[in-house]
Amino acid sequence: MTQCINDWIDHLSAQGARFHPERAGEIDDFGNVLTPADLAGGFVAAVTDLGLIAVAGEDAAGFLHNQLTNDVEHLGQADVRLAGYCTPKGRLQATFLAWRDADAVWLQLPRAIQAPLQKRLSMFVLRAKAKLRDATGEPDRVAVLGLGGERAGAALGMLVDALPSAPYTRTEGAFGTVLRLADAFGAPRYLWLTSTSSAVAALPALRLALAFGGNAAWELSGIHAGVPQVTQPTQEQFVPQMINYELVGGVNFKKGCYPGQEIVARSQYLGKLKRRMALATLDNAAARPGDEVFAADDPDQPCGMIVNAAPNGQGGADVLVEIKLAALDGEVRHGAAGGTPLRFAPLPYALDTAEA
């Protein structure tokens, strides 16, 4: 398994990948930072910072159904779903992409938090017939390519037998697994999980047709899709609604109990939501998840926190930021009241701020 990962990383190194040892060797880009316009036109990104947990056994779906914020028991084999894992206080420890086939339920999440999350979930298996394993480096899904933008569907369609027809569906075959996720820039986004040999064979054609990037490009596309990803700096910081997780389909309020369910339900049905997630850009490419933001009219305490951030190729960063709704109408700055100002932009979905 380790050799499969090493082979894929070695190939990306030969393609000019830039590595960041301070972030466990993650690939950031391939010599240039892609802009939102690049992504909108069409891009392919080598994604190396996502891990994969396989949960196998006859009770796998039922076990996860009782742990996660979304319905897993009724997850169809052509479906893909977002799901969260909360503390008993309703704070998100992780957000996943989940899908199911005849062999297992698959959970994709950032590699940096995979090992402790997998260990924690395993503690609650108890007598259930379910077993968790690290599937990140398994040969038929070791290479992960993210694609999106206007030209991506046609380029990928030349290499796989069938593309998913709608967001949050998938196709599978000898080519591997293709997940279609939330659209960005008015075009589909795909994650293609395949073997190193298939990815190596596909990359030349994809690079001719599309802009080429790494993790930063994929993260930027997710930011513009308005879909949050909990990472190490933001674990246990947010109730799902604070980062719009129910708006993007990550919470099922009818599925029954899971850790933190009472808190999540109370946030939905009682009172009024006072915090949400917004899309913004700022002239500081060093912005990172977990950074606080401050309102000019209340400079002594933070009004929010950056959830996800990626360089935008224009000298700054685009971010998803969890924030007090009251602060959206005023001036908001990064890091301190005198920091770089944020410029807010519309999300690709309606930000429901009505009474919950």
For 297-343, write each residue's pLDDT tens digit: 999 999 999 999 999 999 999 999 999 999 999 999 999 999 999 99
Domain ranges of the chain: 2-225, 274-343
- Buried/exposed code over 9-22 (b: 16+ C-beta within 10 A; e: otherwise): bebbeebebebeee
The CATH code that applies to domain 2-225 is 3.30.1360.120
Length of the chain, in residues = 356
Question: Which pLDDT score, from 0 to 100, does residue 28 have?
Answer: 60
Residue 266: how many CB atoms within 10 A of its CB?
13
Q: What are the tokens at 275? A: 């915090």
Between 163 and 18, where is the model more confident? 163
Q: Check: CB of residue 132 under 8 Å from CB of residue 121.
A: yes
pLDDT of residue 354: 42
- For 77, residues 6+ apart whose C-beta sits below 8 A from its C-beta are 100, 101, 102
- Average pLDDT score, the chain: 93
Q: Enumerate residues 6+ apart whose C-beta is below 8 A from 115.
A: 134
Domain 274-343 has CATH 3.30.365.10: no
Strands (E), 66-157: 80-86, 92-100, 105-110, 131-134, 143-148
Tens-digit pLDDT profile for residues 278-290: 999 999 999 999 9
